[in-house]
Structure 1
């Protein structure tokens, strides 16, 4: 990983890319899972491609031109993405006006080679904002704006970077990957996407009248003692990534086994184990007071659960899971007990009727935001989302996934310097806490 790299990017003027053929003009309501206030932002991602993997005509092609055409052709099928979000009454409901206006596209050139980014491609990427169209951040302004921003940056070595920013209200991680694969397939000359998109947002609408049947602590604004947190807004933060390969995961399993009963005979989820370990170690590194409530919050995919969603559905289909306890209890507990807290939170979020209850809560309480509680470790698992499989004709990328991690983070699949797949967890913490976390993780896994 390169941490001090600096480079210059020269961008073209932004243009709107519309669907390559006429598309329906209609209003499409977003679901009550889609249009919650906490999803009113743009999720960013980067995909790095090597020149050496290009085959056939793609080897001499301009990646910006190839992707631009593929994007226009894919938008014929994903035409709501080329529209604009409107806010309507009652209760600030979001709908997509399928105007066909298009998405923002920028082509660019950078005076840097892929190898300059280091042997391991993983956030934090130096100067990553230069590889995106818009300033990256949690901007809540989504009404009336393009829903997708794409920048293709040609590198000095002949490789390129595909950068995107997509409105979270229109798609979750799985839906975004489905869209990107469709753009890739159309860029490679296919007549239609392999998986045809399905809207079906009505399946995740609130009932009339709404009936909240489950507890939803993820939307409780008064939890965790208000807004006080040692992570102050003015404290300088540093970033680094922690890597967990086979050796580290084996050590983690031994740590769980030695610490107590995590459910004899039950399969231990890789995500649950890592989330529990890092939640506990991160809280210790931040030196919370013993009686401070701390939380871990993460996404549970609802695909394959009830209600059944059709293949091709690309909307938001997830619920948040939350585990909470005092910092003193968290730090003093055996890791097996923390793991059980995380697994229990996941089971509650995945329980029958929970997602419908979330939709009803959105309608009943005017779309409350999630994650406002202080001292919350927010993490998402995208190791199985499929970002790394996106192919615009240059083969599988050297990296595909989130562009950055802030106080929220991800579990990512990346390749280490030897080419072995490992899980990366980027972190963003104050420097003293990061030093404590690094030492604790090293000591715990190398006893």
Structure 2
């Protein structure tokens, strides 16, 4: 189990890495999608690499720091700090101060980690050290990078980035630029594009679509949801292609070919979560929010290189009794309907809603985000091969009480490719949830999906 491995990390003093050349000192407003309340948090990610040796006579830390500094010439807003205007409007002051960089050494090898590269990732808070004063949203570094050397010569790159400035696709764009420069490129293959005004409200703004994913009224600024009195349990579930095929066989013939893996897996997890958490389910509504990367919805398309948030958060709502009594095909159809709602007009309506209703928070319910469809951070190669694991270290709990799980591309210890899903809930709910998942995806041999 990942949680049983403990290792010690010795860190050097954190430093700020600034752009390698002078960059403009200017104020760059975020879009009306970027600065919504639901994106004001930081996302941690872990990237594990095998043995490395010096490249072109330079060691790992020097190479990555140099590549980062050069990448920040093009992505110079990341070297600035977020400021807040009246009306809670966010803007980046491009100060050139830089991003936090930490070098560290851990007394563990990749071989010791190999069985633990599940989720929650062991000791991840040691691999992304929370430097005092760096964990906020305003007036803080927009990114923190920690490079941790392992005893075997492998290394772990831990990152934490401010979600308000970019989404995961935008973050990967920066990661690829750092990797390209580390391999000798003089500039990114796709130049970054700011142009946040493209996702601003119309004048006058008007809400043209239904948005049940947002609460009717905004909460007091940064109001944190009370934590449950009982401890929360983190666990992960691994779904192979065989598990997905088993789920697909549960669908009626007309849905089998038209249903994507994302729709099928989301429907499965929604059903299992409802059965695990709602007791009795008949008197409640079952809800799940999923994240949609909406870049493909725009015509004309957004510019290549745009790295701001282009996310929609459609919510699926059903009487819990209906969800529990019907076959999984019912849940799939509800997910499909919610997904189909996301159009260019839906996105513009969402942007306008932010302005009209004062950035209302998302409904507090379970949220899932598909990282298999954004190009794969495992493919990022700094010169020592692709990552063994790349993605968030566990499910995230946002300040407003929303629990965020991810669909992460993953290869297990048997060499099987599939999707890893970190989950967080109360211990007694997790036990029921695990049984529901196993019941849903097990074939006749009783193959298990729970891995962590």
Q: TM-score, normalised by structure 2?
A: 0.90
- CA deviations 1:136-178 (Å, max 9, x no partner) are 9x96x31111101111111111111101110001110100000
- CA RMSD across the alignment: 2.1
Equivalent pair of 1:63/1:154 in contact (CA under 8 Å): no
Equivalent pair of 2:19/2:73 in contact (CA under 8 Å): yes
- Provide the secondary structure at the position in 1 that maps to 2:197: helix
Could you tell me which residue of structure 2 aligns to residue 187 of structure 1? 182
- CA deviations 1:309-346 (Å, max 9, x no partner) are 11000000111111112222221121101100011101
Alignment of 1:303-318 (within 5 A): 303-307=295-299, 308-318=301-311
- Provide the secondary structure at the position in 2 that maps to 1:362: helix
Alignment of 1:349-364 (within 5 A): 350-364=342-356
Counterpart pick for 1:340 among 317, 333, 348: 333
**How many angstroms apart in 2 are the aligned matches of 1:38 and 1:441?**
29
Equivalent pair of 1:2/1:116 in contact (CA under 8 Å): no
- Provide the secondary structure at the position in 2 that maps to 1:219: coil
- CA deviations 1:225-262 (Å, max 9, x no partner) are xxxxxx961211222211111211110001123xxx7x
**How many angstroms apart in 2 are the aligned matches of 1:222 and 1:169?**
21
- CA deviations 1:39-85 (Å, max 9, x no partner) are 1111110100000xx47x43975322211111101000000110111
- Provide the secondary structure at the position in 1 that maps to 2:161: strand
- Provide the secondary structure at the position in 1 that maps to 2:4: coil
Could you tell me which residue of structure 2 aligns to residue 3 of structure 1? 3
Summarize the Cα distance change of 1:267–1:403 in structure 2 as closer, same or farther, 3 Å threshold.
same
Could you tell me which residue of structure 2 aligns to residue 298 of structure 1? 290
Paired residues, number: 426
Counterpart pick for 2:201 among 200, 203, 206: 206
Alignment of 1:24-43 (within 5 A): 24-43=24-43
Alignment of 1:393-412 (within 5 A): 393-406=383-396, 407-412=403-408
**How many angstroms apart in 2 are the aligned matches of 1:81 and 1:275?**
33
**How many angstroms apart in 2 are the aligned matches of 1:264 and 1:277?**
14
- Provide the secondary structure at the position in 2 that maps to 1:304: helix
Which runs of 5 or more structure 1 residues have no equivalent in the other structure? Answer: 224-230
Could you tell me which residue of structure 1 aligns to residue 212 of structure 2? 217
**Deviation above 6 Å: which 4+ runs of structure 1?**
none
**How many angstroms apart in 2 are the aligned matches of 1:11 and 1:292?**
49
Could you tell me which residue of structure 1 aligns to residue 370 of structure 2? 381
Could you tell me which residue of structure 1 aligns to residue 263 of structure 2? 272
Could you tell me which residue of structure 2 aligns to residue 321 of structure 1? 314
Could you tell me which residue of structure 2 aligns to residue 83 of structure 1? 80
Q: TM-score, normalised by structure 1?
A: 0.91
- CA deviations 1:77-111 (Å, max 9, x no partner) are 0001101111113x121111111111111111111
Could you tell me which residue of structure 2 aligns to residue 369 of structure 1? 361
Summarize the Cα distance change of 1:127–1:70 in structure 2 as closer, same or farther, 3 Å threshold.
same
Could you tell me which residue of structure 2 aligns to residue 65 of structure 1? 62
Summarize the Cα distance change of 1:366–1:341 in structure 2 as closer, same or farther, 3 Å threshold.
same
Counterpart pick for 2:168 among 168, 173, 187: 173
Could you tell me which residue of structure 1 aligns to residue 278 of structure 2? 287
Of the structure 1 ranges 363-372 and 70-79, higher mean CA displacement relative to structure 2 is found in 363-372
Summarize the Cα distance change of 1:197–1:294 in structure 2 as closer, same or farther, 3 Å threshold.
same
Could you tell me which residue of structure 2 aligns to residue 228 of structure 1? none
Residue 222 of structure 1 deviates from its aligned partner by: 7.8
- Provide the secondary structure at the position in 1 that maps to 2:386: coil
